[in-house]
Structure 1
């Protein structure tokens, strides 16, 4: 992992991945993207990890978009023409494909790629002083790479207004449009994260893993296709060790002991 720009720290059932470029407002470059991807991969492989939290260092910025000053070595607009995969797109794909729950801890301003990371995560908790925006039009660009993850979260008209005007959403607006799950004051941000992690860690990791797999798999299917796919998964989930343990614990009126299998 790229230790100088991304830090990964496990505590209990939570693995926290932090972008560590506060002087650059935690802007994204290739090094940061590769560091987050490596940390996500390691957290997925850790049996003690139940929830992955992504955040930025400090209180000023979650991620201030692509690093416009990165230049040829890691900038968002420099790419090997023989490689169709952009590092930002690979990052969003990796977050969305993660089999463990992901939470964006929005500690400060999130623009461009920062907004994309938030939308790629399963949930988001936002500090009340933070804003989420897509200001690319102000420098003659359009936020191409973040369009796919954001279109899956925000209403179309609200999203197009953000893209076309460059005006950011406040925390209150982000909550109203379901871009985030919760808004707290800065001091309460970690308390809310801990509350969510505790709730998630108490549930079956197998059910969550298979449930996330199904939700992503059926996203672009027609309704009949979705139903045919999901109705075959329910009996499969019922045969897992966790499901059998869950049934036994319910009948025995005790707390289940999940194996994650």
Structure 2
């Protein structure tokens, strides 16, 4: 059942979504994907949630890619020929479209689909013992469904080296190539997550929601299209309750009280 492989926990302003398959190194199958999607949708609908954190259970693995042993029982390589939508693609699309900030908490190895999950999130914090890789070529495959999210984060030559050689990146390399925002020791992982959550929760949820919408919409536009879109959206943002409250708080030299509207 989905509820057994994905756990949701509310920690103040944070909603933490955890893949709970430690014996399978938190490998992705249909149940995991559907569980994460359901948890993301619930968190997005929760007005008290400001940040969504995605992680894996334990310290060994964030997500060890698609479950190669699942076969016809929810594995990533079995697809209904009459349905063009793959559950992994739907998962990445849902993370990308989420209007609330998402953070990947990389507690251990992240390979294949795990690397895709990291790139689909807005930010990432990585334990120094973890590694990120795309080893599919070693079993005669290519990581097709994670190419789109990873292409939006990594430089092309570094990405092609990962895909073609299958050699993983260390935490230091992941930081150097801007694949993650921060690297900490394992004990400091949650402290850094808590720091980021507090920084985000102090800001206007409305501004963040509209800003994420704008950034994703503009990614594939030409520069003139981006500018016209931005010019149209800016007055809309300025008319929100949060913007009016932000202006008033700035003038009064007080802390704003955000409504999220």
Q: TM-score, normalised by structure 1?
A: 0.99
- Tell me how far apart the structure 2 counterparts of residues 181 and 84 of structure 1 sit (CA, whole Å): 34
Question: Which stretches in structure 2 are left out of the alignment for 5+ residues?
Answer: none
Match of 1:21 in 2: 21
Residue in 1 that maps onto 2:92: 92
Deviations along 1:57-106, one digit per CA (max 9) or x if unpaired, are 00000000000000101001101111101000000000000000000000
Provide the rounded CA distance (Å) in 2 between the counterparts of 1:260 and 1:111.
36
Is 2:35 the counterpart of 1:38?
no
Quote the Cα distance in structure 2 between the aligned partners of 1:158 and 1:145.
18
CA–CA distance in structure 1, aligned partners of residues 117 and 143 of structure 2: 13
Deviation sequence 1:189-219 (CA, Å, 0-9, x none): 0000000000000000000000000000010
The CA RMSD over aligned residues, in Å, is: 0.6
Q: CA deviation at 1:231?
A: 1.0
| Superposed structure 1 runs of 4+ greater than 6 Å apart | none
Matches within 5 A, 1:57-136: 57-136=57-136
- Residue 180 of structure 1 pairs with residue 180 of structure 2: yes
| Match of residue 164 from structure 1 | 164
Paired residues in the alignment total 261
Distance 1:222 1:24 in 2: 43
SS of 1:132 mapped into structure 2: strand
Tell me how far apart the structure 1 counterparts of residues 240 and 169 of structure 2 sit (CA, whole Å): 43
Partner of 1:221: 221
Offset at 1:8?
0.4
Q: Within 2, Cα distance between the matches of 1:168 and 1:144? A: 17
Match of 1:193 in 2: 193
SS at 1:55's partner residue? strand
Q: Using the alignment, how far apart are the partners of 2:156 and 2:75 within structure 1?
A: 29
| Unmatched segments (≥5 aa) in structure 1 | none
Counterpart in the other structure of 2:148: 148
